Chain A
Amino acid sequence: EAQVTQNPRYLITVTGKKLTVTCSQNMNHEYMSWYRQDPGLGLRQIYYSMNVEVTDKGDVPEGYKVSRKEKRNFPLILESPSPNQTSLYFCASGGLSGDEQYFGPGTRLTVT
């Protein structure tokens, strides 16, 4: 089954404690990205990757890091989480420009 998986689905952590949210896709997509969803703001792109070892900033990259060492995986790293990073995070993957983006189930992160 074609899918994007994310782990964990729910995470409560404290300010400053490094965390990683994993993302994996099984569709051999070159393009992967991370979004955060906040009330009234819709989804905003954090980082994206067009291929292995190729990543770039989206609209709201501050406080986040990513890596793309393998085509199927695109982890999101918060080196020192802060309360303003409390949000719902989605990983997405897709093919060529304009193709449908497939979204993971979401990770709800709370930073206290």
Chain B
Amino acid sequence: AQKVTQAQTEISVVEKEDVTLDCVYETRDTTYYLFWYKQPPSGELVFLIRRNSFDEQNEISGRYSWNFQKSTSSFNFTITASQVVDSAVYFCALSEARVVGAGNMLTFGGGTRLMVKP
């Protein structure tokens, strides 16, 4: 069965610090997709990134970057020069592409609450 673990339940940093949110996953599929979502205090879920299992290239988008390593089953998320607006709960999620009957089910980690203090 698929599983996603976000070991850090809460992280507190001071503005402008870099911070890395860890995500470790388990799956028996060779084809799968990994996601990160942000949940700000307002409660909605904001899509950040999607990565398929065949693409291990790291990705950078502004202050955000993602490190996907299949060898360690990890998909970590780094925020560079954090800002107060980055304060949110961040979820890592996994979707197995060929699980019969389960369609696009996302398995979420427990989330990491990031607090960025001014």
* A contact set with B: CB distance below 8 Å: 31, 33, 35, 40-45, 48, 50, 56, 58-59, 88, 90, 92, 94, 96-103, 105-106, 108
User: Contact partner of B43 among A43, A88, A94, A99, CB < 8 A?
Assistant: A88
Number of A-B contacts (CB under 8 A): 71
Give A108's nearest chain B residue, CB to CB.
Answer: B43
* B contact set with A: CB distance below 8 Å: 4, 6, 9, 32-33, 35, 37, 43-45, 47, 50, 52, 91, 93, 95, 97-98, 101-106, 108-111
The DSSP consensus for interface residues of chain A is strand
A33 touches B43 (CB 8 A): no
Given the complex, which residues of A lie within 8 Å of B44, measured CB to CB? 103, 105-106
- Given contacts A97-B98, A100-B50, are A105 and B43 in contact (CB under 8 A)? yes
CB distance from A52 to the nearest CB of B (A): 14
